[in-house]
Amino acid sequence: MAKNKVDGVYDSDPNKNPNAKKFQHLKYIDALNLRLQVMDATALSLCMENELPIVVFDLFTPGTLAQLLTGKPLGTVVSKEDSLVAAAG
């Protein structure tokens, strides 16, 4: 899921809060329960129901699309996996 000026999912708006923490990985249900506004709740629920992983990244940062296509870790992955990890600062 390409975003503009946001390179992943954060615990609060990084454009307003310089101390916002970025998640490297997030479960669908945690994104919904924490109301992180990753995307529309219905769309997120459909991804969860169909086990479709989501990668949230900034499309306008040079090189991100190429990194994503080559499988390099990028942004935040939202999936069914059991890890909820916030990156340090």
Divide the 89 residues of the chain into consecutive groups of 10 and give the mean pLDDT of each group. 89 92 94 90 93 92 90 91 50
Structural domain containing residue 8: 2-86
Check which CATH number belongs to the domain holding 44 and give it. 3.40.1160.10
What percent of the chain is helix, strand and coil (3-state, nearest 5)? 25, 25, 55
pLDDT the model gives residue 88 = 41
pLDDT the model gives residue 5 = 84
pLDDT the model gives residue 11 = 93
**DSSP-derived 3-state class of residue 29:** helix
pLDDT the model gives residue 86 = 47
Cα separation values, 70 from 5, 17, 73, 88, Å: 22, 31, 9, 25
With contact defined as beta carbons under 8 Å apart, do 68 and 55 qualify?
A: yes
Count of domains for the chain: 1
